[in-house]
Structures are given as structure tokens and as C-alpha cells.
Amino acid sequence: MEVGDNMETITEDEAELYDRQIRLWGLDAQRRLRAASILLIGLKGLGAEIAKNIILSGVKAVTLMDPNNIDEEDKMSQFFVSNAPIGQNRAVASAAPAQLLNPMVKVTADASDPSNKADDFFAQFDVICATGCKNSLQCRLDNLCQEKKIKFFSGDIFGFYGFMFSDLGRHEYLHEEIKKRKKDDDDKEDEGVTVTREVSNFSRLEDELKFDWTADTPGMKKKIRQTPSAFFITRVYEEFLELHGRRPSVATMEVDSKELQNLRILILNKLGVPAKCIPEDFYKYGFGELSPVCAIVGGVLGQEIIKAVSQKDAPLNNFFLFNGINDEGMVDKISL
Amino acid sequence: MALTAALGSEQMDALNKCKVLMVGAGGIGCELLKNLVLTGFTDIELIDLDTIDVSNLNRQFLFRKEHVGKSKAEVAKESALKFNPDAKIKAHHDSIFSSEFGLDFFKGFTIILNALDNRAARNHVNRMCLAADIPLVESGTAGYLGQVNPIKKGVTECYECQPKPPAQKSFPGCTIRNTPSEPIHCVVWAKHLFNQLFGEEDPDEDVSPDTEDPELTADAGKAALDAEAKKDAIGGIERKSTRAWAVETGYNAEKIFNKLFRDDIKYLLSMETLWKERRPPQCLDFHDLPGKGNQSLSVRSTDVWSVQECADHFSRCVSKLKQDLAGRGDNGMLVWDKDDHHAMDFVTSVANIRAYIFGISLKSGFEIKSMAGNIIPAIATTNAIIAGVIVMETLKILAGKLDKCKQVYLNRVPNDRKRLLVPCALDPPKPKCYVCSSKPECSVRLNTSKVTVKTLQDKILKGHLNMIAPDVEIDDGKGTILISSEEGETEDNEEKFLSDFNVGNSTRLKCDDFLQNYTLVVIVVQEEKLEGDAEFEVVGDMSECHPAEDEAATSTNGVSSSAKQTTDEDDDLVVLDDLEIDDTKQAGVENSESRKRPAEDLEPPVMAKRRAAEGGDSEDVIEIS
């Protein structure tokens, strides 16, 4: 993301194509976007949404990485391959339709397993976004990213639920505020834009998940009550993924439902939070990836990648949690 | 099926039976169509009149460069079919106002989803849905902000329950013609000039100095006029139309330039009262301009042109537009279009020349396009999120859980209660809504001896009250027909004044729109003179009568300083003004101050609203700090 004086100005063609967004975030932000290389791991429904959003925005390059093959569930949310034959590699099959969205972005596919990649591989990217990955892999990549000053994101969708996590390390950005000013000569108000340079500090995913909820204080009770339900709910699914190496599946719905109910108790005990934090019937709404939920979380996540790269506007720090059962879309930081 | 398992079989049954109409296939529409097809909707019709433009491609992902110029509805359908070839999608490349889409058409759907970009179409679809009693999900985005609003007749507010501020900010004529002080004033003047020279002439868009400026005493204006009349300057201040004069000169760029920017400015300078406390304008001569001698002519839209460059672009554009006009034959005219390079460059150069004259900062073509084209910034992510929310609300409506539906707002930053997406309870219909109440009525203040039948029809009923083809009958016991939607029946009435038909204070006009299946009683409130010389003011219910709110329009976006005076007619308009008004309502005061709140301050009203609406939910209300 080197943005120096030698960076080329935006061409007239680009100005025309990106007109409506440049009017929102400005030319400098667009220039920074054009210099960014992004690794996107996981090309299920959420991954497809993120890929679409960042490719449209005009980043430099996007590498789509997924070791898995297209399955039945992709039909309900992965629009790049929803009509492709089952069994092809997801990343490879997605690359061509993804490329069509914007010929100015370099789109490549990689069918390898991210957990088998050496640390050095990741150093070539400005942003790494891991979707559909086990918690352990998310934490490893996050730590690696902080070491190499790479912006890290992760996220996943389970039916009606979804989350996004971001760790931008120490992130500097420009904050614009439109302020009304009284003009001296008459009563008219004038609006001026003030730009300030701000810093936001992020924590590691590892530390967020280690947070101790057990203190028996009014403050902690309040915190638990204010923490979005989707945080606790998605913990259960992450646990499932970690233990079984796969997501709950429609094909094994009955068994998986039982296991999810067991894991609910396990998570509640592990965190030491009250039972009401995870509704008992939560598991009924967590199969597959619903397209509109992917669109919502993928929209937020895509925008956060754009913000991180363009260094424009305050980033969400650090979870975005969506619960489609009650339309809740909340931002929270677990550790204080 | 994975989808059935994820959604549950009941929801899936409802979905399978559902026939959905999508109105609009643009920014929100592309995302929405994708979500619908993937979520298992298989019976979809979509309507869009628009064709694809390059500037759509950064977000309307169903379209690609090779589709530019083609029908949005058709291409969206083809692209979406690739997601699921079994879906049944019917595309209409047509206007939603077309009589083809009457009540029977609307009644054929289970639900209507709006993905529109302008208020007129939103109003119309709202009325059609009310008439057909079909649920509607309304939506809008602007920049980072967005909202989704489920609407059901008799249960929730309709789209028109809350009055909206004027779509476009207007400026006093004398500011535009005599004393511009902001770049936007020059842009408005430049667009008026375009119409005067090449488009449809509108007496309200005069570009010459205004001798009736209230700041001038009658004497001063007259003295100036007399002084000027003695001069025999070419195109001086003859009472001749700008167009006729331009045609006579053969659209000579130099002559036009010197008339507008030298002679007219001299004349303005003679109105000395105007410049007592203002910086006086500065005359320009075509052959002696700042920036002269720079060899290369900048064409980059992000550069600010020098005055000389502006004059060069002006000359180039005038000659090109003259040719375009000639190509339209006798009585042909051009319609200003921000995407026509010559029309746009004309406005950029003229606005900047005028800005220079009045000591106002010059702007790049890019910035002027925002102002002149009323462009609302738009991005893929906001549209994706809002389209996702639309489907979430749609699923609830189809499952018969309207009570679980929310109005959902997308904020730019999370509010005090951590919410980026803010769900608010739906309000019941407003009892006196002039659209959805059982006997719609509204009052219009006007002077019956100054307002013609044509003004009533075009500006009030169609322009302001969004009727398509009204029939108007005076409720005078005789059933006098004032306006008939049948061609040729009441044309003779058009130029007559309302008073000629004995329309006076408290006269009730029964206005009926057949297509919208909508009858509105307009109650005339006789006023000799209205604030700001307005021709009329629609006040809905007289008890809510309040002065005109010019400034409200500026607060509708809060998105980008460049889109300030706009709201309508471009991409994906958001109607955040609802919020401001909610705030007023919640506070229980009719305080005009609070209605001017910029959209940036979204949270407080939403919070207030939610607290009031869900007061019992202590979990959600306590800690606001």
C-alpha cells in the first residue's frame, strides 16, 4: 500500500467508472485502493460477496483461495458458482466470473489449503481476509498479520447468523466531519469539511476470545447483557467447526442439531455466561448460508476492507455481529 | 434441499407460492435480484425504464461494459438467470407509470419490492400498493446510509404518511440573476442559460439582470433600465428573448460571451444599491481573459480550468450544441443531460466564468457535475446490505409475521448502543395522511385569481401531489368539470384562473386519478400572497400549517458536501427525512428547528423512537450512556 508522490493519478476512464464512489470517498482513497493486494480465503457465500464488493471497488489484485470443492449448499448463496457442477474447486471456478466484474483488477485463484502455506507466502498481501476458517487458523493468521503489518479480517455465516472480525493493528486514518459554521455577514450557515488524522488500536482475536466473563460484578452483568447475542451464538458454531473440521450440514441435520445443543452448554460453561445468552432454539436457524445474510455481513466486511486500505473513515473495532432473527447488526469490542 | 432446511418448510412453502414484483433494477435492484434468486424466489417480474451507463458499473454488478446502453431490466434478468436457470424472471423495459401497470397488474403479486431512485416513482408505487392492498417493502440508499421500510395498508405508515421536504432546493430568482454568492448559484444560472439558448425556454429561468430585485428601490432599477436603454449595445437589455437574440447572432460565442459576461455585468453594476455591502462583480472581455497564453487546454474533469480555458471550452461547446440543435429541425430543442459531455462542459465553463466575475471560488468539472447533475454518491456495499435487509423483511412478511417486521436504518457508524443496523418498530398509519386515510383530503394555499387551471393540473396535482392523470370536479353541487384526463375535453380551461370558475376560499375540489385508483379532496385556502412569492403551498392538514421550509431540503442527505442541494433523480435516493420528522413527533413539539437536523445525526431520533416504541423492553433501554 505504498502511496507515494509518484503514484499515478486516476485516469479519465477510471474516473468515469468509479465516479459515484469517488464522489463519496475522494480521489486519494481511490488511489490507495488501486495499490492494494488482497488474499481472500474461503469462497462460500460470504467469500463471494466480499470478492464482489472489493473487486468492484477497484483494488489492485485479489487472490481467491479455497481448497474445497463446490457443494450443494453453494447453490443458496455462492452466486459465482451457484449453477456450476458440484465437485469443482470453488476458488478456481469462481475466478472467471469474479474477473468479469472488473477487468482492471487482477483476479487469481489458488486451490491450496491456507493452513499448509508457509508464513512467507502471506507477506505479499496488504490485506488477508479469512472466511469459513477454523478458529485456530484465524488466530494463527491474525498473529502473523500483526507481525508483518498486514490488515487482518475474518468472518463466517451460519444460516441467519453471521460475524465479522477485524484486526488492523495500529491503524491511522483520515476522519472527515462536516461542520456547520455561522457566516459573519448574515444568518446563513455554511458547511465546511474538517479533516483530522486519527488512530485506532485493535486487539488480537486470540485475546478477544480469551476474555474472562466470570467476574460477579454489576459491570460484568451489564456487559453480558449488552453483548450482541450473535457473539455467543457464533461461538457455538466456531466450536463445532474446530472440533469436527466441518460446518453443521443440512445432510446431517439431525445429528448436528444435537451436537449444536451440546456445544451450547459447553460454550455457556466455558465462558461462564448465563443460559439466556444463547436462545435454546438457536440451532434451528443456523444451517447453510442465507444469501441475504451473506449480503449484509459481506457488505459490512467489504466496506471495512475498503476503509482499511483507503485509510479513510473510522473502522469498526472489532466485531460486527448480525442476527437475522431480530434484525440486529451490532458492533462490539469484547476486551476493553 | 439445503435451502428448505435452512429456512424451514413453512417459510419455503410461502416462498414457493410467492410472486414478487421488483421495481427498479439499478443499484439496489441488482443486489436484490441476486438475493431473491439465491433465496429461492422463482417467480419474479422486474421493471426498469433505464439503460446501463458506465458510471453504474462500480456497483450494479449484473452489468458489464459491453452492456452499456442496453436495458437494465433485460440485462439484469439474463445475468441473474445464470445464478439459477430454473427461476422464472420476466423483465419489463418500461416506465412504472405506464397504464399497462394498472391495478390488476399489481394485484397479481404477493409482494412488491421497491428498488427505486426517485420520489415520484416511490409515491406512485405506494399508491398502487395501497389501492391493490399488496404489501410493499420500500428502500433507499445514499452513500454509506440506507434504510428499509415495510409498508402494509391499514397496519403501517404508508410512504407518504410523513411529509417530505421539497425534492430540490430552490433559490430566489434575484440571487441567481443578480447576486450569486455560492458556486451552486452559478451552476443553477448556467443550467438556466443552457435552456434559454438550446432547450425549452422557461420564463422562470431568465438569466438577465433582474430589475425587480426587492433590494432595489423601484427608482434605482428603473433608472438603470433607462440608462441602459439609451445605449445601443448589441443585445444590451432589449426586451427580446435570449434565444431569439442568440439565433440572430448565429450563436456567435464571442457575442454571447460579451453580452453575458461584459454588458449584462456592466448593467448589474449600475444597480448600485446591490453593491453597497457586497463585492461588486467584474466585467470580462472575450479577448482579454485571465489565464490567457497557457497553451494546453485541460480536459481533465478533476482540474479547475482557468477563465481562458473556460472561455475556450465555452466556444467549443456553443458551436457543438448549435449543431446538435440544428439537427433537431425547426422548433427542436436540447434537453440538458449531465452525461452529455458538451452540455456538461458548457455548464462547467459558464458556471466558472460567472463565479470568477463574482469572486466565488472556481470548481472542477467533477465537482460541478455533482451539483448540476444532483448526483448522489453510491457504492456497492451499502446497496448489498440494504438489499439483504429487504429480503429479511420480505421473508417475515411472507411468513405472516408482519408484527416482527422493522424499519431498518443503516448508519455510517454504530450508535451509542452499538447498532450499525438500527431496527425500529413500525408506526401505524397517520390518520390524516392525504394518501392512505379512508377519505384523503389536503389543503392548498393559493391565490385563485392568479393560479390557472393548468398550474393546478401540472404543478400542484401532478408535480406536487404526484397524480398521473387527474380528473378534477368542483364540489359545488353542479359537478363542474375543471380538468378531464380525456384529451381535448377541458383544454379550453387551461389558461383560465381558478376564480373564473368561482373557486374561492374553502372550495372543495374532487381530484380523481383513475390509474392510481386514488381520490383526493383538495380544499382551497385563498391567500393573496404567499411567503417567498410561491405560487401555492400544499399544507396537508391545515392544523399542521407551517411556513415553507427551504432549508429542510439541504439536510436530506448529509452525505457529501457536494450533493447538498439535491435529493432526487439520480441513484438510490434515501429518504432520511423521515427520521427528522419522527424526532419532532416523538418530542411532541412542532419545532421547525429540529426538522433541519442533518442526516449525520441519525442516532438520537432513532433512539428516541425506539425507546418510545419498545418501552417495555428494559433489556434494550437502560444503558444509553
Comparing CA positions, the residue from B226, B229, B230 lying closest to residue B238 is B229
Structure letter (DSSP) for residue A18: T
Using DSSP, how many helices (H) and how many strands (E) does chain B show? 20, 14
- A37 pLDDT higher than 70: yes
Q: Which residue of A has its CA nearest to B572?
A: A20
| pLDDT tens column, A39-74 | 999 999 999 999 999 999 999 999 999 999 999 999
Pick B423's closest partner by Cβ from A73, A222, A327. A327
Lowest mean pLDDT among A17-21, A29-33, B239-243: B239-243
- pLDDT of A240: 98
- Was B119 annotated as part of a binding site? yes
pLDDT, mean of residues A221-245: 96
Lowest mean pLDDT among A3-12, B133-142, B498-507: A3-12
- pLDDT of B619: 29
For chain B, the structural domain boundaries read 2-164+377-424, 173-372, 441-540, 553-621
- pLDDT of B565: 34
Q: Which residue of B has its CA nearest to A317?
A: B414
- B560 pLDDT higher than 50: no
- Between the alpha carbon of residue B114 and those of residues A91, B118, B159, B393, B513, the distances in Å are 34, 11, 11, 13, 22
Assigned C-alpha cell, B59: 456497483
- Was B568 annotated as part of a binding site? no
A329/B421 Cβ within 8 A: yes
- Between the alpha carbon of residue B458 and those of residues B447, B467, B468, B481, the distances in Å are 16, 9, 10, 16
- Was B311 annotated as part of a binding site? no
SS3 label, residue A60: coil
A287/B6 Cβ within 8 A: yes
Instruction: Report chain A's mean pLDDT, rounded to a whole number.
Output: 93
Which residues of chain A lie closer than 8 angstroms to B560, CB-CB?
23-24
Pick B384's closest partner by Cβ from A103, A159, A295. A295
- Between the alpha carbon of residue B361 and those of residues A175, A317, B172, B184, the distances in Å are 24, 39, 21, 11
For chain A, the structural domain boundaries read 12-168+291-332, 171-201, 205-285
- A147 pLDDT higher than 80: yes
pLDDT, mean of residues B376-401: 96
Query: Residues 243 to 302 of A: which have CB under 8 A from any B CB?
Result: 250, 253, 284, 287-288, 290-296, 298-300, 302
B61/A288 Cβ within 8 A: no
- Between the alpha carbon of residue A304 and those of residues A54, A154, A165, A297, the distances in Å are 10, 11, 10, 10
- A128 pLDDT higher than 80: yes
pLDDT, mean of residues A13-29: 92
Contact of A15 with chain B, judged by CB distance below 8 Å, is answered with yes
Contact of A134 with chain B, judged by CB distance below 8 Å, is answered with no
| Annotated catalytic residue within B18, B30, B129, B174 | B174
Which residues of chain A lie closer than 8 angstroms to B421, CB-CB?
296, 322, 327-330
- pLDDT of B211: 81
- pLDDT of B296: 66
- B621 pLDDT higher than 80: no
What percent of chain A has pLDDT above 70? 94
- Was B545 annotated as part of a binding site? no
- Rounded Cα gap, residues A169 and B601, in angstroms: 29
- pLDDT of B107: 97
Annotated catalytic, B442?
no
Which residues of chain A lie closer than 8 angstroms to B375, CB-CB?
19-20, 23
Residue in the block written with cell 444435537: A258
Which residues of chain B lie closer than 8 angstroms to A316, CB-CB?
414, 420
Contact of A94 with chain B, judged by CB distance below 8 Å, is answered with no
- Helix or strand (DSSP H, E) at B254: helix B253-258
B2/A288 Cβ within 8 A: yes
| pLDDT tens column, B462-495 | 988 999 999 999 998 888 999 999 888 888 999 9
Pick B421's closest partner by Cβ from A103, A313, A327. A327
- Helix or strand (DSSP H, E) at B228: helix B218-230
| Helices within chain A (DSSP H only) | 12-17, 19-34, 45-57, 90-100, 119-122, 135-147, 205-209, 218-226, 229-244, 253-271, 291-310
Chains A & B: contacts with CB separation below 8 Å = 203
pLDDT, mean of residues A149-168: 98
- B557 pLDDT higher than 70: no
**B2-164+377-424 and B173-372: identical CATH topology:** no
- Residues present in chain B in total: 625
What's domain B173-372's architecture?
A: Orthogonal Bundle (1.10)
Residues forming a β-bridge with A174: A197, A312
Contact of A76 with chain B, judged by CB distance below 8 Å, is answered with yes
Q: SS3 string of B171-210? A: CCHHHHHCCCCCHHHHHHHHHHHHHHHHCCCCHHHCCCCC
Comparing CA positions, the residue from A75, A126, A140, A128 lying closest to residue B84 is A75
Residue A239 CA neighbour count, 13 Å, CB half: 20
- B555 pLDDT higher than 70: no
- Was B94 annotated as part of a binding site? no
Contacts of A144 (CB under 8 A, 6+ apart): A119, A122, A150
- B614 pLDDT higher than 90: no
Distance from CA of B569 to the nearest CA of A (A): 14
- A272 pLDDT higher than 90: yes
- pLDDT of B106: 98
Interface test with chain B among A24, A100, A253, by most B beta carbons within 10 Å: A24
- Between the alpha carbon of residue A208 and those of residues A213, A216, A307, A336, the distances in Å are 11, 19, 22, 9
B38/A291 Cβ within 8 A: yes
- B147 pLDDT higher than 60: yes
Distance from CA of A119 to the nearest CA of B (A): 31
Pick A83's closest partner by Cβ from B64, B83, B418. B83
Q: Which residue of A has its CA nearest to B618?
A: A225
pLDDT, mean of residues A7-33: 89
Which residues of chain A lie closer than 8 angstroms to B83, CB-CB?
79, 82-83
Distance from CA of B268 to the nearest CA of A (A): 22
Which residues of chain B lie closer than 8 angstroms to A306, CB-CB?
381
Residue B524 CA neighbour count, 13 Å, CB half: 27
- Rounded Cα gap, residues B535 and B521, in angstroms: 19
pLDDT, mean of residues B37-57: 96
- Rounded Cα gap, residues B132 and A75, in angstroms: 34
Assigned C-alpha cell, B292: 490567457
- B212 pLDDT higher than 70: yes
Which residues of chain A lie closer than 8 angstroms to B558, CB-CB?
178
Cα B441 to chain centroid, rounded: 24
- At residue A190 the predicted structure's pLDDT band, cuts being 50, 70 and 90, is low
Do residues B460 and B498 lie in contact, with contact meaning Cβ atoms separated by under 8 Å?
Answer: no
Do residues A208 and A165 lie in contact, with contact meaning Cβ atoms separated by under 8 Å?
Answer: yes
- B213 pLDDT higher than 90: no
Which residues of chain A lie closer than 8 angstroms to B302, CB-CB?
9-10, 15, 27
Do residues A169 and A142 lie in contact, with contact meaning Cβ atoms separated by under 8 Å?
Answer: no
| pLDDT tens column, B235-248 | 444 456 788 889 88
Q: Which residue of B has its CA nearest to A304?
A: B381
Which residues of chain A lie closer than 8 angstroms to B34, CB-CB?
79, 291, 295
Bridge pairing between strands A151-158 and A127-131: parallel
What's domain B2-164+377-424's architecture?
A: 3-Layer(aba) Sandwich (3.40)
Q: Which residue of B has its CA nearest to A314?
A: B413
- pLDDT of B164: 78
- pLDDT of B225: 55
Lowest mean pLDDT among B212-216, B263-267, B280-284: B212-216
- B529 pLDDT higher than 90: no
Contacts of A143 (CB under 8 A, 6+ apart): A204, A206
Distance from CA of B560 to the nearest CA of A (A): 7
Do residues B564 and B373 lie in contact, with contact meaning Cβ atoms separated by under 8 Å?
Answer: no
Q: For the domain bounded by A12-168+291-332, which CATH number is listed?
A: 3.40.50.720
- A336 or B318, greater pLDDT: B318
pLDDT, mean of residues A261-290: 96
What percent of chain B has pLDDT above 70? 81
Residue A269, burial from CB neighbour count under 10 angstroms (0-12, 13-18, 19+): exposed
| Helices within A173-311 (DSSP H only) | 205-209, 218-226, 229-244, 253-271, 291-310
- Rounded Cα gap, residues A280 and A283, in angstroms: 8
Interface test with chain B among A76, A153, A283, A317, by most B beta carbons within 10 Å: A76
Which residues of chain A lie closer than 8 angstroms to B277, CB-CB?
185
Q: Which residue of B has its CA nearest to A159?
A: B6
Other Cβ atoms less than 10 A from the Cβ of B619: the count is 11
The ipTM estimated for the assembled molecules is 0.96
Distance from CA of A230 to the nearest CA of B (A): 13
pLDDT, mean of residues B340-367: 95
Contact of A172 with chain B, judged by CB distance below 8 Å, is answered with no
- Rounded Cα gap, residues B308 and B492, in angstroms: 51
Distance from CA of A189 to the nearest CA of B (A): 10
- pLDDT of B488: 84
- Helix or strand (DSSP H, E) at B312: helix B307-326
CATH fold label, B441-540: 3.10.290
